[in-house]
Amino acid sequence: MNLKELSDFIRKNLAACIVSLLIFGAFGAFLVQQYIVLYEKKNELDQQVKAFYNESLIKQEEFLKREKEVYKQELSIKSEKETYAKKVLELDNLKIKYEKLNAELNESARVSSVEMRRQIAEEKLNSLMSEFSATGANLRTTPECNDKEGWKQYNIARAKLSEAISFARANGLYEDYEGFFDANSSFMMSTC
């Protein structure tokens, strides 16, 4: 092909080439415009995806923080339960010790009370026996029938001894002091 032929070919097909170039240019411009629109939509979608991931990451961090707090609270509650259980056990042990000490104290008080009552009764009995001895009367021998003072002392002594014997029997002390009572009791009846 030479230059003349080429120039003839272009003249014949110039209109078709220009139309083709215009159609392809317009189509290319349309494609570029669509590409720009799609690129912008892609950037917008990328921003939305990024925002979604950022938001989900924030929510996940909040969830992890809450989960961590719940775990700490569970540990704290567990620790408090263990502490409470230990304190309950200590209280139970103290209660058992207290009940044991209380029982021992009650028993000691009961024994002490019995001993104290016995001691008080013995003191009273000793006082009655001393009063009897202070009369100086001997119940084994009766005074002369005309000795009024002797009979008075004799009767006072007999009343004191009788009171002491009754008191001793009432307080369970008679057997302990039976020798004294037997030694001072009268076997005689007065004949006056």
Q: What is the per-residue pLDDT across 142-168, written as a single tens digit (0 to 9) for each?
A: 888 888 888 888 888 888 989 999 999
89 assigned to some structural domain = no
Residue 67 lies in a domain: no
Establish if 109 belongs to a structural domain: no
Is 125 domain-assigned?
A: yes
13 within domain boundaries: no
- Residue 165 located in a structural domain: yes
pLDDT of residue 192: 61
At 90 the pLDDT is 95
Q: Is residue 126 part of a domain?
A: yes
**Residues 159 and 146: beta-carbon distance below 8 Å:** no
Amino acid letter, residue 182: D
Q: What is the pLDDT of residue 70?
A: 95
- Say if 128 falls within a structural domain: yes
- Structure token pair of residue 108: 């000691």
Q: Give the C-alpha separation, 57 to 75, whole Å.
A: 26
Contact indicator for 186, 158 with CB cutoff of 8 Å: yes
- CA dihedral sign of residues 25, 29, 32, 38: negative
User: In total, how many domains does the chain have?
Assistant: 1
Q: How confident is the model at residue 110, as a pLDDT?
A: 82
- C-alpha 41: how far from chain center: 68
Range of the domain at 159: 119-184
Residue 188: what pLDDT? 59
Q: Which residues of the chain have pLDDT under 70?
A: 1, 187-192
Q: How many degrees, rounded to 5, is the angle at CA 161 between CA 157 and CA 165? A: 170
The predicted pLDDT at position 46 comes to: 94
pLDDT for residue 67: 95
- In this prediction, residue 191 carries a pLDDT of 61
